[in-house]
Amino acid sequence: GINKYKHSFFLNIKFMRLYKKSLIPISGVIYGQTIYWLTIISSLIVLLGTIISFLERNSPLPASYLLKSVIDGKSKKDIWANSLIGEPPDIFFFLNNLSHGESITMIGIAVGVSSVIPATLFSSYFLWKSRNPVFALIALIASVLTGIGIFA
């Protein structure tokens, strides 16, 4: 008898909690979910790039050299001066070497750091839809300024 319906009772309680109206505004949920998923994705990209960095043989920026130099206590100036590229890498170095582990790692870091831009943008839309035009405009301005700040 009663054991037959025991699991369905607990499933109904779980689903009721999922569909229960949240106290958190939808704009906050959207912001949080966007940050959450882009951080997960960026972490996986960074992990992939790090693994590739340690496995690849012909990298223009060998991970083994960087790791050994840091452990040996060399200065930043010495590390970059004695590297294969001879200077600290800039954005164009990573863009020109997209298939190498270090570049993949940097892409992952960039996705994680810049995840605030789409999160704020999406949040501003839902703020507008929930009749909060002042906060929607502030979120939109913050998103645009953050995007400009990345390239400045």
State the burial class of residue 2 (Cβ atoms within 10 Å of its Cβ: 0-12, 13-18, 19+).
exposed
Residue 100 has pLDDT above 90, yes or no: no
Q: What is the pLDDT of residues 23-82, one digit of tens each?
A: 777 888 888 899 999 999 999 999 999 999 889 888 888 888 888 889 999 888 888 888
- DSSP letter for 72, please: T
What integer pLDDT is reported at residue 39 of this predicted model? Answer: 95
Could you tell me which residue, 78 or 151, shows the higher pLDDT? 78
